[in-house]
Structure 1
Amino acid sequence: MNPQRAAWLFLAPALLVLGLFFLLPVIAALALSLTDYDLYALADIRDLRFVALGNYWELLHRPLFWSALGHTLYFVLVGVPLSIVASLGAALLLNSPLARCKPLFRTALFAPVVTTVVAVAVIWRYLFNTKYGLANYALGGLGIHPVDWLGDPRWAMPTIILFAVWKNFGYNMIIFLAALQAIPADLYEAARIDGASPLRQFRHITLPMLGPTLLMVGILTVSGYFQLFAEPFVMTEGGPLQSTTSVLYLMYEEGFKWWNLGSASAVAFLLFLIMFAVTAVMLRVARRGGEA
């Protein structure tokens, strides 16, 4: 058998699954975003109308969409650096020769990643409860008045960011740990012989060698944080005063609360375009930095 034909034969099952469960739904959602598909069209397909880019135009003129986008950008701009710093710090500690019980701590730090987000979000909601949460109990012991963590618009999003960083940093930690272990030990030995301090070793050896890994982790984390939904859905339900309503949460409400499926599909593709643009900028900046 022709090797090329045999390769396509082996790839066919995977391509079929991708086509049925990824490509086809994406094409269907794109088609929906160009219509006014709603509850009336769901009841009678004859009520369906083609509106072209009308859904996109309407969304761009809705203050709620821009508010949700602002909340999402705030979550990304604050949460992504915190998550990367926490991941890299934990990986450096675990990679240190002074660390003990490494398998235990590696498992403990990675455990939040594999736990169900809804379950741990419910637990965090009780931990930050205004009346009987452990967070306010600790503040009370310090003589500080209780904080309405999830009921105050000033504190709701920072609390969700803190939860997301705790929940997700372990995944990037494992990636950083693998990258750190791949750096040749001879480089650090030569640096120590030349009298380089640990800080200079980190700056001139560790960070440059981690460059490609940092880029990959950054892109993965940004794309994941742009898809903020489960945390506000469970912990605040988009409140208070819609201060934690994200773009994905807005899409959920449009599609499954108000049954404006055409508008919800348009929200999804606008979010995709934003994520694509941000990723392209990150790749371009990284390429220029590599050329310099």
Structure 2
Amino acid sequence: MRHIRLPKILSFRNIAVFFFVANFLVFLAYPIAKAFAGSLHYWNPMTGAYDWVGLENFEAILKDPLFWRSIWNTFYFSFFAVIFRIALGLGVAVMLYSQLAKCKTVFRALFYMPTITPLVAVSLVWVWMYDPQFGLIDKLFGIHVNWLNNPKWALPAIIIMTIWKDFGYATVLYLAALMNVPTDVLEASQIDGANSWQRFWRIIMPLIRPATVFVFITSLITYFQAYVQILMMTEGGPGDRTYTISYLIYDRAFVNYDFGTASAMSIVLFLITGVLSFLSLRLSTGKE
């Protein structure tokens, strides 16, 4: 019986490996290779043009002020979105983890619900909330700010929406990590005279560091690719104040049909994201 089941197990494993490799080649390796090749060509699918230009696309984007503005906006957007996602996620997780919190399952579901809500729908709701005439934000705080059309507030407004939508994801991960902290270690530290603040910073934070690293790196990758909320809420405006590198890639490729320049920008974005993720992982490993 064991000899009969073994070929079936091997057959299932081979099929699973085949689909995994096929998925990797079709949806990851091929698009990256195609983007790299396209970055070296003048590529316009509407006219069928695909002419070799070498590094001219990279030279063009490095001379483009909008590209550098998009890079700055992307770093600005990612920095604040990642920091506040981690801070709010950890803070809410600690509150839910405490013995004083009631109905933990209900609150956990409520905080996580925006994360699984489609980003397009959330963006449209927040566009209405930011409306200067009948929006909820201005009425709630008794102010009058034209959020999405104000060069000063447009990008922060999108960041606020993004944090609200995504911090529940960090909350759930941190809550799971906190529940895995050994209670005997906390009890021993309490017997040794450590107060709540010392237990949190010297025991809990080091033990949940893997969750922090995971949230940080996944958030960094996600926010460097952010463009849906930009498209739905401001379309890069006012002016170039909310252009991110991902939205600029979309604009160059699917609005101007300049796929060569868009491919060059995507390669730059790929390298920046890879380097930052690698450095974050190395730094966290060193601390570990």
- TM class by shorter-chain length? over 0.9
Could you tell me how far apart the structure 1 residues matched to 2:8 and 2:139 are? 68
The residue that corresponds to 1:26 in the other structure is 32
Output one character per residue of 1:149-169: Cα deviation in whole Å (capped at 9) or x when no partner.
Answer: 111111111111111111111
Output one character per residue of 1:1-59: Cα deviation in whole Å (capped at 9) or x when no partner.
Answer: 899986545411221232223222222222111100025xx434xx4211122111211
Matched, 1:96 2:98: yes
Secondary structure of 1:49 counterpart: strand
Percentage of pairs with the same residue? 34
Could you tell me how far apart the structure 1 residues matched to 2:286 and 2:182 are? 26
The residue that corresponds to 2:282 in the other structure is 284
Alignment of 1:174-213 (within 5 A): 174-213=172-211
Runs of 4 or more off by more than 4 Å in structure 1? 1-9
Matched, 1:77 2:79: yes
Superposition deviation, residue 238 in structure 1: 0.7
Could you tell me how far apart the structure 1 residues matched to 2:224 and 2:272 are? 9
Secondary structure of 1:131 counterpart: coil
Amino acid at match of 1:183: V
The residue that corresponds to 1:108 in the other structure is 110
Could you tell me how far apart the structure 2 residues matched to 1:3 and 1:123 are? 51
Could you tell me how far apart the structure 2 residues matched to 1:114 and 1:284 are? 30
Could you tell me how far apart the structure 2 residues matched to 1:173 and 1:138 are? 26
Superposition deviation, residue 214 in structure 1: 1.1
Judging changes above 3 Å, is the alpha-carbon distance between structure 1 residues 238 and 10 closer, same or farther for their aligned structure 2 residues? closer
Could you tell me how far apart the structure 2 residues matched to 1:197 and 1:21 are? 51
1:122 to 118, 121, 124: 124
Matched, 1:222 2:226: no
Matched, 1:248 2:255: no
Amino acid at match of 1:189: E
The residue that corresponds to 2:47 in the other structure is 43
Structure 2 length-normalised TM: 0.93
The residue that corresponds to 1:262 in the other structure is 260
Could you tell me how far apart the structure 2 residues matched to 1:13 and 1:274 are? 30
Q: How many residues were matched structurally? A: 282
Superposition deviation, residue 116 in structure 1: 0.8
Give structure 1 stretches of 5+ with no counterpart: none
Output one character per residue of 1:185-220: Cα deviation in whole Å (capped at 9) or x when no partner.
Answer: 011111222222111110111111011221111111
The residue that corresponds to 1:86 in the other structure is 88
The residue that corresponds to 1:159 in the other structure is 157
**Alignment RMSD:** 1.8
Amino acid at match of 2:218: L
Amino acid at match of 2:279: V
Judging changes above 3 Å, is the alpha-carbon distance between structure 1 residues 134 and 4 closer, same or farther for their aligned structure 2 residues? closer
Structure 1 length-normalised TM: 0.91
